[in-house]
Amino acid sequence: MALLLKTHFKLAKTAIKENRTRSFLTCLGIAIGVASIILILSLMGSISNLVKNEISEIGSDLIVVRPSSTKDSVTSIVEELTSSNTFQKSNLSLNDVSTISKLEDVAAVAPISISVNTVDSEKNNFTSVPILGTNEDFVKIEPVAFKFGSFINKNTGEKTVVLGSTLSLALFNTINSTVGKTVTIMGEKFMIIGVLDEIDKSINFDNIDFDNALIMDIESLDKLTGSTQIQQINIKANNTDSLSKVSTEIKDALIESKHGDENFTVSYGDDITHPASSLFTVVSGMLTAVATISLVVGGIGVMNIMLVSVAERNHEIGVRKAVGASSRNILMQFLFEALILSILGGIFGLVLGYILAFLISIITPFAPHISAEIVLITLATTFCVGIIFGIYPAIKAATKNPIESLKHYR
């Protein structure tokens, strides 16, 4: 049997070599489908890696409270994405922040509130600058390095802000310290007391690009805009061993203060990454669907070529059967050919996908994320494609009547 498999393999190889152009084009169909899937998987992997790395940097004592959608489904995510409000409608309030900070096991609580506004310096003005409203605990939870100055705290007063490095550069056209200068937001002047070091992590669990952001006290932001939405509350626990206990405590306290409304989620560890990539989940889900369609089209290409091959080699099938090939032998011969075509396409697509992912990594922060898992999934997928689209032509070949086939002499 093993000998026969080897023979089938060799036969398939010869057949593929004989029709080089045809085989290459068929492989290309599969390769394009596979490459797009690889690209998407690689991007998804690198995104969740970015967030995971950040969390492991911050430490294992991080707990995050986020408002939860009433329906936690794809449709709700899509609704959020398509609504004019880019940021989630929140039902968390400053009240909740103080509720949590009263708990024993909590070391620091920082609300994260992001809004977008125009920021004006004397030299430049920028619309759509993300403004992060938080409190002094923020730096206790997330270690941020400062290029100049320091973070906001109770003593620095209301009208103080911290700039991201890129924003600072863009507003004042200088890489030198901008501490002490003022910016105008909605007609009010704010003094800059600190500039962050370059962070270069546009994707993180706070959903904010710190390099381009402006940070101010949440109460100042509240006064400025009139209504503040808290997207997230970051909590540092006292004790890393009992994260689950602390998170339960937080949950209970919040439910109590909110009179039984459980419209939020408390997460820690790897769970924190999930909402951050919810946007990517939807986008990549759609892209994967498109990629799958192209893979199916590629598979149909394989089937088409195999059908042509079966028709062309009708006579050969008849001869083989007459000299002792069983239907199964013929089936295997053609199935092998389809399998080799699609697996070749898969390998080709794997390489192509990674080259594309690498090219993308040059212009974006997404490092190509290549795991054995992805390679295995791809090969398994192409194997399945080969079987699914190869079985029908193979069966067609195997069930041919040898007498009829022998009559079709070329």
Partner 1 sequence: MGENTIIELKGLTKRYGYGDTESFALKDFDLTIKRGEFIMIMGPSGCGKTTLLNIVGLLDRATKGEYILNGENVASISARRQAKLRAKKIGFIFQNFNLIEDLPILENVALPLVYTGYSKTARLKNASNALKRFHLQEREYYFPYQLSGGQQQRVAIARAIVSDPEIILADEPTGNLDSRASHIVMEELKAIHEEGNTIIMVTHNPALTVYATRVINMLDGHIDTDVKTVADANLPQPISVKIKKRKKPEIEIETPKSEERKKTKKRKKSRRKK
- Looking at beta carbons only, is 355 or 406 nearer to partner 1? 406
At residue 338, the 3 state secondary structure works out as helix
Binding partner 1 by CB under 8 A: which of 145, 323, 363, 372? 323
Q: Is 110 exposed, middle or buried (0-12, 13-18, 19+ CB in 10 A)?
A: buried
User: Who contacts 257 (Cβ-Cβ below 8 Å, separation ≥6)?
Assistant: 95, 96, 99
The Cα 292–Cα 357 span in angstroms is 18
Binding partner 1 by CB under 8 A: which of 316, 356, 379, 383? 316
Residues of span 388-407 touching partner 1 by CB under 8 A:
402-403, 406
- Looking at beta carbons only, is 160 or 405 nearer to partner 1? 405
- What's phi and psi for 369, nearest 5 deg? -105, 105
Torsion of CA 228, 231, 235, 240, to 10 degrees: 180
Binding partner 1 by CB under 8 A: which of 326, 358, 364, 373? 326
Interface segment toward partner 1; rule CB under 8 A; list 102-110, 274-282, 311-319, 361-369: 311-319
Q: Pairing relation of β-strands 160-163 and 188-196?
A: parallel
Interface segment toward partner 1; rule CB under 8 A; list 5-13, 95-103, 111-119, 139-147: 5-13
| Strands, E assignment, 7-155 | 62-67, 106-120, 125-134, 146-149
- Looking at beta carbons only, is 278 or 333 nearer to partner 1? 333
Question: How open is the CA angle 132-133-138, to the nearest 5 degrees?
Answer: 90
What letter would DSSP give residue 409? Answer: -
Count of residues of this chain found to bind partner 1 when the rule CB under 8 A is applied:
26
- Looking at beta carbons only, is 25 or 403 nearer to partner 1? 403
The Cα 289–Cα 281 span in angstroms is 12
Q: Does residue 321 touch partner 1 according to CB under 8 A?
A: yes
H/E segment holding residue 190 = strand 188-196
* R_g over Cα of the chain: 30
Q: Does residue 4 touch partner 1 according to CB under 8 A?
A: yes
- What's the closest the beta carbon of residue 395 comes to partner 1, in angstroms? 14
Binding partner 1 by CB under 8 A: which of 18, 72, 122, 256? 18
Complete DSSP assignment for 158-188: TTEEEE-HHHHHHHHS-SS--TT-EEEETTE
Q: Does residue 3 touch partner 1 according to CB under 8 A?
A: yes
> Which string of b and e fits 126-158 if b means at least 16 CB within 10 Å?
beebbbbbbbebbbebbebebbbbebbeeebee
- What's the closest the beta carbon of residue 323 comes to partner 1, in angstroms? 4
Complete DSSP assignment for 198-230: P------TT---GGG-EEEEHHHHHHHHS---B
Binding partner 1 by CB under 8 A: which of 322, 359, 376, 384? 322
Binding partner 1 by CB under 8 A: which of 29, 275, 301, 318? 318
Q: Does residue 21 touch partner 1 according to CB under 8 A?
A: no
Q: Does residue 311 touch partner 1 according to CB under 8 A?
A: no
Q: Does residue 320 touch partner 1 according to CB under 8 A?
A: yes
Binding partner 1 by CB under 8 A: which of 58, 94, 319, 377? 319
Per-residue mark of binding to partner 1, 344-383 (x: CB under 8 A)? ----------------------------------------
186, 119 in Cβ contact below 8 A? no
- What's the closest the beta carbon of residue 7 comes to partner 1, in angstroms? 5
- What's the closest the beta carbon of residue 305 comes to partner 1, in angstroms? 17
- What's the closest the beta carbon of residue 4 comes to partner 1, in angstroms? 7
384, 73 in Cβ contact below 8 A? no
Cβ neighbours around 291 below 10 Å, total:
22
Interface segment toward partner 1; rule CB under 8 A; list 57-65, 269-277, 324-332, 335-343: 324-332
Q: Does residue 269 touch partner 1 according to CB under 8 A?
A: no
Interface segment toward partner 1; rule CB under 8 A; list 74-82, 166-174, 226-234, 315-323: 315-323
- What's the closest the beta carbon of residue 76 comes to partner 1, in angstroms? 57
Residues that bind partner 1 (CB under 8 A): 3-4, 6-7, 10, 14, 18, 315-316, 318-329, 402-403, 406, 409-410
